[in-house]
Amino acid sequence: MNAGELLIFLALAVPLFAAVAIYAVGRMPDVRETLTIVACIALGIVTISIFMRVGAGDPPVWTVARPLAGLEIAFRLEPLGALFALMASLLWGVNSLFSIGYMRGKREAHQTRFYMCFALAMFAVMGIAMAANLFTLFVFYEVLTFSTYPLVTHACDARARKAGRVYLATLVGASLVLFLPGIIGVQIAAGSTAFMPGGLLDGKVSEGVGNALLLLLVFGSAKAALMPLHGWLPSAMVAPAPVSALLHAVAVVKAGVFVILKVSAYIFGPDLISALPAATWLLWVAAGSIIVASLVAMTKDDLKSRLAWSTVGQLAYVTSAALLPAATGLLAGGLHMLVHAFAKITLFMCAGAIYVATGASKVSEMRGLGRSMPIVFSCFLVGALCVIGLPPFAGMWSKFLLLNAAFGTKEWVTAAAMIVSSLLGLIYLAPVALMALLQPVGDGSPRAFIRPDGAPGPVVAAVMVTAAACVVLFVLADAVVAYLAPMTGRVR
Amino acid sequence: MISFEALHAAPPALTAHAPMLLVVGPLIAACAAAFAPTSRTSWMISVTGSIFAAWMALALLGEVARHGAVDYFMGGFAPPLGIAFHIDAAGVLMALLISSAGVMASLYSGHALPAEVRAEKHTLTQAGFLLCQAGLLGMVSTGDAFNAFVFLEVSSIGTYALIAIGEKRDRRALPAAFNYLIMGTIGATFYVVGVGFLFAATGTLNMADMGARLATLGDSSVVQAGFAFIVVGLGIKAAMFPLHGWLPGAYSYAPSLIAIFLAATATKASIYLMARFVFDVFPDGAAFGQGFIAWVLAPLAGTAAIVCSIQAVFEKEIRRMLAFSSVAQVGFILLGLSLATVAGASAGLFYLAAHALMKMTLFMALGGLAISIGARRLDELAGVARDAPWSAAAFAIGAASLAGVPLTLGFLAKWRLVAAALEAGQIWIVAVLAIASLLTLLYIGRMIEAIFFRPAPAGAPRAREAPVGVLAPLWILAGLSLWFGIDASLPEQLANAAGQALIGGAP
């Protein structure tokens, strides 16, 4: 086993081992939480080394098994995957800090199961990020669905079970009925499902087959919540805040758009995507998804629900980016995936912090709360402005590149949808923080805090870290785009 | 690639007579078991006989890899007068499957039988089991159409008795056995009438001969009538929708030893025999054969896959659920065969082997779970995983394979089916497979939820973990499902050669 294989093995083994160990020491909460943190740090080190190696042009490769002729379980890193793995492992660390504060603060039940499923989900995410072909990716994609199901239904009440059923039915259903036939279709058309720079299917399929496969694969990746397969995401908000934060802003939904970006870049390739009419149809669907999600978000008073609908819209941005008939769209999409992850996890963690401290979950209950919780609401404002795309936050660059690519390819519908939705975002996200920070407590009845001393320390620390990252990425955006450049298949 | 050419499993003197010994071995063991003095002795005879058959099947595997197909003339009399055995790559796959299923089931029976069958009937049960095994092995290795009927009856008579023997635990075994007796006899009669028609048309009973003569004769109404009788007759025995009425009862009320063995082999042998007739005996390209595959076999198989999956979803008794699931899965297998391409036949046979493995695992695990409490209904099994974790875990592995979870054999089997259907341009088959797979997921979900996640009802009898004698074969089967899920080169190679032999080669 060479160094590259060892890194891949460790990236999978660390979270998997963590899951087993967490289960084993479940009766000792302090040991259990220490284990989680140690695993986060170890995985962080592994993914950073992977990231560096890919940047240096020496991507780790590992072929594990060959179940059938032409079907491999194999891993191969490329820039987008390395970035995704790094992002997920870093945010797992931050989120674990947050979880410890939140779960203890709320004295939640079944915490061992909770941390174990989290580690399993990270195992799946690592597999998705590193997969060398669609088949391997599919295996881990399913693991991710099943490992996060107990997290969605954590509360164990009727509402959670119902949400869990929707979650499983949509994700598993779409992956079996659409995604898997799509993968098999690719296998038959190309004799393999490997991700190839420049596009595996380029020049190998007719327009009709290409259209069908693109539709199957994009809708099949229902974790990307492209309408009309978005319903599971808002309903999954019954989960505890850390779950919503990591899974429904980072791991699960980003795995969905990651799949679409990978499929676009490495299965179809920019040239074939430009030639397929289905890409244009999907762009319209995504544009509709962006606008509708923004409008629905405006009507939601429940903060997490509003954030979830905002996520549906933002995911459609990345989907659009992947399908724009220009290679620069892929880079913009990759950057937006990263930036939105940091911004949205900040927002979700703030929502969790507010809830654990005050019990407020509705926007209308938060008027004036910022006076008592200035740090949390300031961070919320940072996250909101980053999602909307204002400087000096990283979101500005990804939106700029996205619009640039949309205008450059004369996709006016996409461009218009993005501009309108940004304005809508200004209306539904920013005022949450502004009302809390600037206005006096409403109706003269100050809300009784559940915890008089505000949110627990680890929670606030976690929020501050990700909010700071939104600013730091503003400076690093160019470096990220340069790092991703090889995925267009045009460089080198 | 695994090289079977180098496989010399048995000494040449035995290998030369392996096709005959394959059948006669279990037959002699059956006689010995019937007169065995104690239950224990009969069990040991049963295990020995099954292992002997598996040994002969392995020896044949090497022979077939070296020579393509093995023809053996009983007593040295060449056909058309003598009785011939004909074993090609497809036959060897079936023989291996049946004999290894026999080994596993007989190992299992040592501990399971006392709980389910009256003590004075143990020796007879083992005799019947060996008889049934000999008959099934004969069906897949014979080269003679009438001989196949004899073996069909040998296995059936064993089966009728074995189902009825389940009456110690549930009296409903008696009507179930009677029902199967009637249906099975009708099926066998139809088959033999069909063979009669073909004999009238060709003047031979040897299948290779028959195929050669039919190719020159062309089809006539006599041949077509023969074809229809044979397909309906074997369709009943293969539980081809809508002729499957006997199966749920038979699988549900038979002792678990028998259910395990039948689920893995009984319908499969008839499917194989039907495939031999459809692809080998009847002339290629005969219009009625093509029409049958396209307009009867495939639509019925598709209907079975969906309708019986739905029935399984709404069933309350867990063994009946698995039985309906089996009928649906027979549909999957027939859909693969109905493609009539090498890829389709290989995929169908691959699925056949995979399904045998996972259904055995499920029935055996269920036997393990239910041995101590005798549960039948799904709600009686609630929370049983807590008391019998090893059996329950093996059940979960079998269930995952049946549902087609990636990294299990079941997933690869479905993958190959869908790939073969897409390659043949049959999109509707892909759609049927997708829908049926979703339904499978639903009923699997119900079982897993009951066994693992529902709390045991208050006052329910506590289950005990199954004894090691049950767990060992169970975990060999479950382990194989997982191992083949990661490296399926062995079953793939066997199935590819079998598909080639069935579609590409002469009988």
A317-351 residue pLDDT tens: 889 888 888 888 888 888 888 888 888 888 888 88
Asked whether the predicted pLDDT for residue B221 surpasses 50, the reply is yes
Instruction: For residue A228, say if its preceding peptide bond is cis, omega within 30 degrees of 0.
Output: yes
The answer on pLDDT for B454 being more than 80 is no
Q: Is residue B416 part of a domain?
A: yes
The B-side interface with A (CB below 8 A) comprises: 405-407, 412, 415-416, 418-419, 422-423, 430, 434-435, 437-438, 441, 485-489, 492
Does the residue B167 lie in any domain? no
Band (pLDDT 50/70/90 cuts) for residue A104 is confident
pLDDT band at B26 (very low <50, low <70, confident <90, very high): very high
User: d(Cα B68, Cα B89) in Å, to the nearest integer?
Assistant: 7
Q: Is B287 helix (H, G, I), strand (E, B) or coil?
A: helix
Chain A residues close to B499, C-beta within 8 Å: none
**Which pLDDT belongs to residue A265?**
87
Contact B309, B443 (CB under 8 A): yes
Domain-located, residue B429: yes
Q: Hey, are the CB atoms on B422 and A185 less than 8 Å from each other?
A: yes
**CA-wise closest residue to B451 among B389, B402, B360:** B389
Which residues of chain B make contact with A63, given a CB cutoff of 8 A? Answer: none
Q: Which residue from B181, B165, B168, B173 is spatially nearest to B126, judged by alpha carbons? A: B165
Nearest to A225 by CA among A159, A286, A269: A286
Query: First and final CA of chain B: distance in angstroms?
Result: 26
Chain B CA closest to residue A191:
B419
Confidence bin at B507 (pLDDT 50/70/90)? very low
State the average pLDDT over residues B86-96: 90
- Quick one: average pLDDT of B43-52? 93
Domain annotation covers residue B465: yes
Question: Tens digit of pLDDT for each residue in A267-322?
Answer: 888 888 888 888 888 888 988 998 898 888 888 888 888 888 888 888 888 898 88
Query: pLDDT value at position B152?
Result: 92
Domain assignment present for B344: yes
Task: Characterize B452-472 residue by residue with b for buried, 16 or more Cβ atoms within 10 angstroms of its Cβ, and e for exposed.
Answer: beeebeeebeebebbeeebbe
Closest CB to A69 among B407, B441, B492: B492
pLDDT tens figures, A25-65: 877 878 888 888 888 888 889 888 888 888 887 888 888 88
Total length of chain B: 507
Residue A68 backbone phi and psi in degrees, to 5: -135, 160
Residue B460 has pLDDT above 90, yes or no: no
Residue A373, token pair as written in the block: 């919780």
Collect all residues of chain B within an 8 Å Cβ-Cβ radius of residue A185. Answer: 422
Q: Are B360 and B101 in contact (CB under 8 A)?
A: yes
Q: Which of B434, B289, B412, B424 is nearest to B344 (CA)?
A: B424
Alpha-carbon distance of B182 to B180, in angstroms, equals: 5
Residue B138 has pLDDT above 90, yes or no: yes
A206 at B interface, C-beta within 8 A? no
The better pLDDT of the pair A22, B233 is held by B233
Q: Is the pLDDT of residue B170 over 80?
A: no
pLDDT of residue B389: 83
Give CA separation, A144 vs A240, A255, A303, B217, B498, in Å: 18, 9, 26, 60, 37
Contact A71 B412 (CB under 8 A): yes
**Predicted local distance difference test score (pLDDT) of residue B100:** 92
Residues B338-365, mean pLDDT to the nearest whole number: 90
Please give the radius of gyration of chain B, using alpha carbons only, rounded to the nearest integer.
Answer: 21
Judge whether residue B211 has pLDDT over 70: yes
- Among the listed ranges A124-128, A245-249, B332-336, which one has the minimum average pLDDT value? A245-249
pLDDT given at position B1: 63
Taking an 8 Å cut-off on Cβ atoms, the answer to whether A176 and B412 are in contact is no
Give pLDDT, residue B229.
92
Most confident of A147-156, A456-465, B81-90, B128-137: B128-137
Greatest extent of chain B over all pairs of C-alpha atoms, in Å: 71
The CA distances from residue A157 to A104, A160, A239, in Å, are 20, 5, 11
Would you say how long chain A is, in residues? 492
What is the model's pLDDT at position A454?
67
- Shortest CA distance from A73: residue in chain B: B486
Average pLDDT of chain A?
83
Distance CA A437, CA A378 (A): 8
Mean pLDDT of B50-55: 93
Asked if residue A59 has a cis previous peptide bond (ω within 30° of 0), the answer is no
State which residue of chain A sits closest to B410, comparing Cα positions: A67
Out of B422, B438, B486, closest to residue A65 by CB: B486
The answer as to whether B428 is a domain residue is yes
* Per-residue model confidence (pLDDT) at position A448: 56
A445 pLDDT tier (thresholds 50, 70, 90): very low
Contacting residues of A for B487, CB less than 8 Å apart: 65-67
Q: Radius of gyration of chain A from Cα atoms?
A: 21
- pTM: predicted TM-score of the whole model, two decimal places: 0.84
| Of B134, B110, B165, the residue nearest B25 (C-alpha) | B134
Chain B residues with CB inside 8 Å of A220's CB? none
In 3D, which of A263, A294, A240 has the Cα closest to residue A179? A263
Question: Model confidence at A449, in pLDDT bands (50, 70, 90)?
Answer: low
Residue from A68, A128, A192 whose CB has the most chain B CBs within 10 Å, to mutate: A68
Instruction: Answer yes or no: are the C-beta atoms of A265 and A80 closer than 8 Å.
Output: yes
Segment B306-313 mean pLDDT: 90
Residue A395 is predicted with a pLDDT of 82
Instruction: Give the rounded distance of the alpha carbon of B109 from its chain centre.
Output: 18
Residue B506 — very low, low, confident or very high, per pLDDT cuts 50/70/90? very low
Closest CA to B498 of B59, B68, B20, B72: B68
| Residue contacts between A and B (CB atoms, under 8 Å) | 48
Q: What is the mean pLDDT of residues B479-492?
A: 88
Inspect the interface and report whether the beta carbons of B487 and A65 lie closer than 8 Å. Answer: yes
Q: Determine whether the interchain pair B415/A177 forms a contact, defined as Cβ–Cβ distance below 8 Å.
A: no
Q: What is the pLDDT of residue A451?
A: 61
In single-letter form, the type of residue at position B127 comes to A
ipTM above 0.95, yes or no: no
**Domain-located, residue B395:** yes
Enter the tokens of residue A424: 């809508």
- The enclosing H or E element of B72 equals strand B70-73
Chain A residues within an 8 Å CB radius of B486: 65, 67, 73
More confident: A343 or A452: A343
Backbone angles phi and psi of A62, in degrees to 5:
-155, 115
Q: What is the DSSP string of B297-316?
A: IHHHHHHHHHHHHHHHHH--
Residue range(s) defining the domain that contains residue B396: 308-507
* Distance of residue A221 Cα from the nearest chain B Cα, in angstroms: 16
Q: Is residue B369 domain-resident? A: yes
Contact state of A68 with B416 under an 8 Å Cβ cutoff: yes
Number of domain units in chain B = 1
CA distance B98 to A113: 43
pLDDT of residue A491: 44
Whether residue B471 contacts residue A49, with contact meaning beta carbons closer than 8 Å, is answered with no
Q: Which of B496, B488, B497, B411 is nearest to A68 (CA)?
A: B488
pLDDT band at A452 (very low <50, low <70, confident <90, very high): low
Cβ burial, residue A1 (10 Å; 0-12/13-18/19+): exposed
Burial class (CB in 10 A: 0-12, 13-18, 19+), B127: buried
